[in-house]
Chain A
Amino acid sequence: MPSKALLIGVNYLMNNEDTLKSPINNIEILRDFLICYSKFDKKNVTLLSDLGDYKKATFMNITSELKKLVNNSNKNDFIFLYFSGYGDFLGIPEKDSDKYIKESMKLKSLYKVENEEHLFLPEDYNMSVLTKKYFLTILNNCNSRIFLFFDCFNKKNNNYLKYSYDINNKTFRTHLDKNQYVWSNNMIILSASNMDKKHFNNFNRVNIINNKTSKFYSIFLLDLIKYLFNYLQININFNTFSYEDLYTVLITISEDINKLDFYSIVKDNKENEKMNKSCCCKEKKLKIIMFFTDDKIIDLNFLENQTDEQNNKNNIDEEIKIKIKYRDKTLAYKNINLERDLKIIKRRYEHLLNKYTTFYKKLYETNSISNFKLLL
Chain B
Amino acid sequence: MPHHITNSSFGSLPSHVKIANNNGIKVNTAATNEISSMAGALLVVGDLTTVIGAKINRGAVLDDELKDMIQTIQQKFVTTYMDFSMNELKSNIQQGYLVLDPSTNTMVRTVTVDGLTRTTTEQIMTNLNAYVQKVKELPGNVDISDNELEMIKQDDAYLISTYALRTIGVVNRGLLCYIENGMLNDTIVSLQEERQTSSQMQSSMVFDITATATIDLRYLAYIRTHGPPVEGVFDPVKLAEFI
Which positions in A face B, CB cutoff 8 Å? Answer: 59-60, 63-64, 67, 107-108, 126-131, 133-134, 137-138
Contact = CB atoms under 8 A, between A and B. Distances in A.
A146 B121 CA distance: 81
A181 to B, nearest CB: 12
A131 B216 CA distance: 21
Contacts of B235: 128
B240 A134 contact: yes
Contacts of A108: 231
A137 B233 contact: no
B26 to A, nearest CB: 62
B139 interface: no
Given A108-B231, A126-B232, A127-B219, A60 B237 contact: no
Contact of B236 (A64, A107, A126, A129): A129
Kindly name the residue among A59, A126, A128 whose own CB sees the greatest number of chain B CB atoms within 10 A.
Answer: A128
A107 B232 CA distance: 13
A131 B234 CA distance: 12
Contacts of B243: 60, 63-64, 67
B103 to A, nearest CB: 77
A129 B240 CA distance: 11
Nearest to B233: A128
6 contacts: A59-B239, A60-B216, A63-B236, A126-B233, A127-B234, A137-B237
A282 to B, nearest CB: 36
A60 B218 contact: yes
A107 B218 CA distance: 27
A182 B235 CA distance: 20
Nearest to B216: A60
A26 B11 CA distance: 60
**In terms of DSSP, what is the predominant structure of the interface of chain B?**
helix
A160 to B, nearest CB: 16
Contacts of A133: 236-237
Interface of B: 216, 218-219, 231-237, 239-240, 243
B231 A59 contact: no
A253 B20 CA distance: 89
Contacts of A138: 240
B237 A127 contact: no
Contact of B233 (A67, A107, A127): A127
Given A128-B233, A130-B236, A131-B237, 7 more contacts: A60-B216, A63-B243, A67-B240, A127-B219, A129-B233, A134-B236, A134-B237
A262 to B, nearest CB: 45
A137 B232 contact: no
Nearest to A119: B236
Contacts of A59: 234, 236, 239
Contacts of B237: 131, 133-134, 137
B224 to A, nearest CB: 16
A140 to B, nearest CB: 12
A141 B232 CA distance: 29
Nearest to A58: B216
A319 B235 CA distance: 52
B226 to A, nearest CB: 12
A137 B236 CA distance: 10
Contacts of A131: 236-237
In the complex, the 9 A-B pairs of residues with the closest C-beta atoms, listed nearest first? A134-B236, A128-B234, A63-B243, A63-B240, A128-B236, A137-B237, A64-B243, A133-B237, A134-B237
Kindly name the residue among B216, B237, B240 whose own CB sees the greatest number of chain A CB atoms within 10 A.
Answer: B240
Nearest to A106: B231
B50 to A, nearest CB: 66
Contacts of A63: 236, 239-240, 243
Contacts of B233: 126-129
Given A126-B232, A127-B234, A128-B235, A137 B240 contact: yes
A60 B218 CA distance: 9
Contacts of B218: 60
Contacts of B234: 59, 127-128
A46 B233 CA distance: 27
A67 B234 CA distance: 18
B243 to A, nearest CB: 5
A86 to B, nearest CB: 15
Contacts of B231: 107-108
A64 B235 CA distance: 16
Given A60-B216, A60-B218, A128 B239 contact: yes
B214 to A, nearest CB: 13
A374 B235 CA distance: 113
A129 B236 CA distance: 6
A144 B235 CA distance: 26
A134 B240 CA distance: 8
A72 to B, nearest CB: 15
A123 B233 CA distance: 14
Kindly name the residue among B216, B233, B236, B237 whose own CB sees the greatest number of chain A CB atoms within 10 A.
Answer: B236
Contacts of B219: 127
Nearest to A127: B234
Contacts of B239: 59, 63, 128
A126 B231 CA distance: 10
Nearest to B222: A128
Nearest to A137: B237
A6 to B, nearest CB: 15
A116 to B, nearest CB: 15
B215 to A, nearest CB: 10
